[in-house]
Amino acid sequence: MKKINANSALKLLQQNLVLCGILVLIVVTAIVEPKFLGAANLNNILRQLGPLPFAALGMTFVIIAGFIDLSNVGVISLVGVLTMGMISFLGQVGALIFGILLGALLGYLNGLILTKCGAMTQAEVLFITYGMSSVYTALALLYTKSETLRITSSTKPYTIFTTLGSVSIGIIPVSLIVFLIVLVIMHFFLTRTIWGRSISILGGNKDAAFLAGFNVEGTMRLAYTIEGIMAALASIMLFSRVTTATATSGSGYETNAILCVVVGGTTLKGGKGSVLRTMLGVVLITMLGNCMNMLNLSTYMQTIMRGAVLVIAIWLDNRKEL
């Protein structure tokens, strides 16, 4: 009986490592720095959740499909500068719709290029999406002429964006409320629709999916289109918060998004994953960054810590298959 209980406890711990990590992080940091649990810092953590959850959510679909995406750096940057630039021409509602549609278009373009190139492995899509990221970043540089765009320079109202970036309902930022709504929709889409399930089936076994009659190329394009939409939302949330946009605004979001997805428990092999667990990964990584800032750790040390977390997460992911 004791052995069974011990095995059950170990299994429960393995299934909830992220939650345990969050709790340990909270306890240790609160002991070392009591201000960590202060209202001001908790509000700061909630605001920091803005762009990253959307980027990680989109990356979840691509990784579940058995692929990877490094182009969201360029997508976030290009969508940010063009959307901000369109406020003066299309108005804030038109610019918002334009940004989301542009993200969907860029995501679809990624999927289309990958399928036309016959890229069906992570190694192949890794280099192609990296190339696409360079293209999108270069287009953003050409548009901005390497200058910083400021939302305050818009000739038309931009209250929708300032609301997304700085307004809270109680202590909950509007951007987080929007994300939670999108999270519920994406969870339903992934688990309750044929299109969402086809993404999981594709990641599980591409050959079997093809033989079963699934539209492999169409499903791949769908996953990247969703990634593009989520990257666009991340971009909008980002420049709404900082009120500026540059051709390099998306720098770092690709690795952080992958980190959140893997830490959340979605396997890099594809076929298995959950958008809800990705949210836990986002919370852990955001809190880790906040904790390191509170403890005054250097940027280099923070980079080492994030790299170590990623290595450990991948190691644990591989251990599951043994």
32-52 pLDDT per residue, tens: 777 777 777 787 778 777 789
Report pLDDT for 321.
54
Task: Compute the residue count for the chain.
Answer: 322
Catalogue the long-range contacts made by 109-117 (C-beta closer than 8 Å, 24 or more residues apart): 110/69, 110/71, 110/224, 110/227, 110/228, 111/220, 111/221, 111/222, 111/223, 111/224, 111/225, 112/221, 114/67, 114/220, 114/224, 115/217, 115/220, 115/221
Q: State the angle between helix axes of 51-64 and 275-294 in degrees (0 to 180), rounded to the nearest 10.
A: 140
CATH of the domain at 231: 1.10.3470
- pLDDT, average across residues 54-67: 94
**Alpha carbon distance 201, 219 (integer Å):** 10
Q: Does the residue 30 lie in any domain?
A: no
The boundaries of the domain holding residue 306 are 35-316
| pLDDT band (50, 70, 90) for residue 9 | low
- In this prediction, residue 12 carries a pLDDT of 59
Residue 319, token pair as written in the block = 């251990």
- Please indicate, yes or no, if residue 233 is contained in any of the structural domains: yes
Quote the pLDDT of residue 16: 66
Mean pLDDT, residues 257-269 = 86
Please state whether beta strands 168-169 and 172-173 pair in parallel, antiparallel, or not at all (unpaired): antiparallel
Cα–Cα nearest to 37, from 25, 21, 19: 25
Domain assignment of residue 15, yes or no: no
Q: Note whether residue 10 is domain-resident.
A: no
Percentage of the chain with pLDDT > 90?
47
For 128, half-sphere exposure in the C-beta direction (CA atoms, 13 angstrom radius) is 21
The mean pLDDT of 11-16, rounded to a whole number, is 61
Cα dihedral across residues 176, 178, 179, 184: positive or negative: positive
Confidence of residue 15 (pLDDT cuts 50, 70, 90): low
| Residue 73: band (very low, low, confident or very high) from pLDDT cuts 50, 70, 90 | very high
Over residues 90-113, the pLDDT tens digits come to 999 999 999 999 999 999 999 999
**Domain assignment present for 28:** no
- Quick one: average pLDDT of 170-174? 85
**So what's the pLDDT on residue 13?**
58
Residue 4 has pLDDT above 70, yes or no: no
Please give the tally of structural domains in the chain: 1
Residue 16 located in a structural domain: no
Residue type, 56: A
Check whether 322 has a pLDDT greater than 60: no
For the chain, the first-to-last Cα distance in angstroms comes to: 26
Give mean pLDDT, residues 244-268: 88
- Residue 18 domain flag: no
Q: How sure is the predictor about 7, in pLDDT bands with cuts at 50, 70 and 90?
A: low
Q: How confident is the model at residue 317 (pLDDT cuts 50, 70, 90)?
A: low
pLDDT at 239: 92
Higher pLDDT, 99 or 287: 99
Binned at pLDDT 50, 70 and 90, residue 5 comes out as low
The confidence band for 264, taking pLDDT boundaries of 50, 70 and 90, is: confident
What is the rounded average pLDDT for all residues in the chain? 86
The pLDDT assigned to 78 comes to 96
- 68 token code pair: 């990877």
Higher pLDDT, 212 or 89: 89
Counting residues of the chain whose pLDDT is more than 70, the rounded percentage is: 93
Give the per-residue pLDDT at 1: 45
Instruction: Identify whether 2 is part of a domain.
Output: no
Check: CB of residue 179 under 8 Å from CB of residue 49: yes
